[in-house]
């Protein structure tokens, strides 16, 4: 006979927590929720009528209502609030209980928390959840990491609540420790890159070609029926059509051009640097959000710094076809960079990630879902140890066959003075990766010249240093 009490508890009844609780209840599970704001508890009660959902007014009542061993999920802002909730929970929990952090916590913080809780016998899962408000309510992509024992306990709940693609839930245990939060972090980094590329496409077509919002909406609708099919492409078309209720104008034209951030893109870029894995499209996406924040300076600079006229010459329809192919190529290269980072992190942090499963659970519910992910899943299914997607025949062909339109868009944008750094660095990444020889030999020679950092030779094994300032031309020292 099952232990009486609610099957899972939810702490944090904001947009994500409340909607996920209702989603879980709709799948037949019992849920109790609590929040420091009593209004949010009451809102849950109001929406929960007819479901196995209850709101608790205080933490003790919340804990006492849970079935043992307890499963407590929190959806609170990353950082100190997570530690605060854990501190408040500990006196009420016992060995064998499970805490789940469903927020966007930094992966190293997840490892720290898991280690501290394990000393008390409490299990801790770091779970990435993607899909926003609608995803939480209707079915998100769920990325759990931590002890397999903990995941198995809530697996039926997660599988029921997750998005479904071809009847299969978009959730899988990804690995020990912070594996789930790491995968979600890189998911968000890829998201940054894709959004930057789409924004640059918009800029080229709006300012460079003079397309109207209606034309842009129609174009993105068309593109969403091609190989570019993706959630972000779909919502972009909708955004261009949205009318502002206050003014009757297109809302997109009234939104201030400053893109905010919560830090996950920056974390992705920072850890990629720690791992020495290049993710330039993600890097530049973070940098351009930072640049967008300098609105006043940009307005002043626009009056002082001249540039070329933004006039497009040529066949506009032909260029729009190139734009579509260039966007696909750059988006593909962004996924490639993210998957390369996951491969490296899997080895460095002992996650033992199954990249086939990562691609599979990203196909539905999440913000970066796209038709391309099925190809990524198939590539890793067929080649589980593949070190890099561009070394797989299909992806090599996809990228190589679209390099000409990618170059054309970069060239046209540069000639028009329209910044497309995402496209530029995606192309540079492609060209760099396919270069058998890079000018890094000169950089290493310079490092040896001023800092005696040594170098390796192409014609013999060993490590060498040259006394570069000697008049004789220097001597090699092995």
The series of mean pLDDT values per 10 residues for the chain, 478 residues long, is: 78 94 96 94 87 91 95 96 96 97 97 97 98 93 98 98 97 98 98 99 96 98 98 98 96 94 93 98 98 96 90 88 98 99 98 98 97 98 97 97 98 95 99 98 96 96 93 54
Look up the pTM and report it: 0.95
Q: Are 107 and 115 in contact (CB under 8 A)?
A: no
Q: Out of 177, 195, 215, pick the residue that ends a domain.
A: 177
The answer on 83 and 44 residing in a single domain is: yes
Model pLDDT, residue 311 = 76
Q: Are 74 and 106 in contact (CB under 8 A)?
A: no
Q: Out of 177, 195, 219, pick the residue that ends a domain.
A: 177
Q: How many domains does the chain have?
A: 3
Model pLDDT, residue 470 = 77
Q: Is residue 3 part of a domain?
A: no
Select from 318, 311, 326 the least CA-distant residue to 207. Answer: 311
Model pLDDT, residue 50 = 79
Query: Residue 456 belongs to what domain range?
Result: 440-477
The answer on 231 and 87 residing in a single domain is: no
The answer on 273 and 155 residing in a single domain is: no
Catalytic center residues? 184, 191
The answer on 219 and 98 residing in a single domain is: no
The answer on 136 and 255 residing in a single domain is: no
The answer on 161 and 124 residing in a single domain is: yes
Q: Is residue 2 part of a domain?
A: no
Residue 472 is part of a domain; what is its CATH number? 1.20.5.320
Model pLDDT, residue 312 = 79
Model pLDDT, residue 477 = 56
Model pLDDT, residue 310 = 74
The answer on 419 and 281 residing in a single domain is: yes
Model pLDDT, residue 475 = 55
Q: Is residue 53 part of a domain?
A: yes
Residue 59 is part of a domain; what is its CATH number? 3.40.50.720
The answer on 428 and 306 residing in a single domain is: yes
């Amino acid at each position: 006979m099952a232990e009486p009490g609610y099957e899972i508890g939810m702490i944090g009844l904001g947009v994500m927590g409340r909607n996920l609780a209702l989603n879980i209840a709709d799948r037949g599970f019992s849920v109790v929720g609590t929040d420091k704001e009593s209004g949010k508890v009451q809102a849950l009660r109001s929406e929960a009528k007819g479901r196995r959902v209850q709101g608790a007014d205080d933490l003790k009542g919340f804990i006492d209502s849970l079935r043992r061993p307890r499963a407590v999920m929190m959806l609170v802002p990353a950082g100190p609030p997570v530690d605060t909730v854990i501190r408040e929970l500990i006196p009420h929990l016992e060995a064998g209980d499970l805490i789940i952090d469903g927020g966007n916590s930094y992966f190293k913080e997840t490892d720290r928390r898991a280690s501290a809780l394990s000393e008390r016998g409490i299990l801790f899962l770091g779970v990435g959840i993607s899909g926003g408000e609608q995803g939480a309510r209707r079915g998100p992509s769920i990325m759990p990491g931590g002890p397999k024992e903990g995941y198995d306990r809530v697996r039926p709940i997660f599988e029921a609540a997750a998005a479904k693609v071809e009847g299969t839930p978009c959730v899988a245990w990804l690995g020990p420790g912070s594996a789930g939060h790491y995968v979600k972090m890189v998911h968000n980094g890829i998201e940054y890159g894709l959004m930057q590329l789409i924004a640059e496409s918009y800029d080229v077509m709006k300012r460079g070609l003079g397309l109207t919002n209606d034309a842009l909406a129609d174009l993105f609708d068309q593109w969403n029926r091609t190989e570019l099919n993706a959630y972000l492409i779909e919502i972009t078309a909708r955004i261009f059509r949205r009318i502002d209720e206050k003014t009757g104008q297109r809302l997109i034209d009234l939104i201030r051009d400053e893109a905010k951030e919560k830090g996950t893109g920056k974390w992705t870029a920072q850890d990629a640097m720690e791992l020495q894995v290049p993710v330039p499209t993600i890097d530049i996406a973070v940098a351009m959000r930072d640049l967008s924040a300098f609105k006043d300076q940009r307005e002043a600079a626009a009056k002082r710094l001249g540039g070329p006229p933004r006039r497009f010459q040529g066949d506009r329809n032909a260029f729009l076809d190139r734009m579509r192919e260039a966007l696909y190529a750059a988006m593909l290269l962004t996924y490639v960079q993210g998957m390369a980072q996951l491969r490296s992190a899997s080895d460095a942090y002992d996650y033992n990630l199954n990249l086939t499963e990562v691609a599979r659970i990203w196909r539905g519910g999440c913000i970066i879902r796209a038709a391309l992910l099925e190809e990524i899943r198939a590539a890793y299914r067929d080649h589980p140890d593949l070190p890099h997607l561009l070394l797989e025949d299909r992806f090599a062909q996809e990228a190589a066959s679209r390099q000409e339109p990618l170059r054309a868009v970069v060239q046209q944008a540069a000639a028009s003075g329209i910044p497309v750094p995402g496209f530029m660095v995606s192309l540079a990444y492609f060209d760099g990766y396919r270069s058998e020889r890079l000018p890094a030999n000169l950089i290493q020679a310079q490092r040896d010249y001023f800092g005696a950092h040594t170098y390796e030779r192409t014609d013999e094994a060993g490590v060498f240093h040259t006394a570069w300032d000697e008049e004789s031309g220097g001597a090699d020292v092995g």
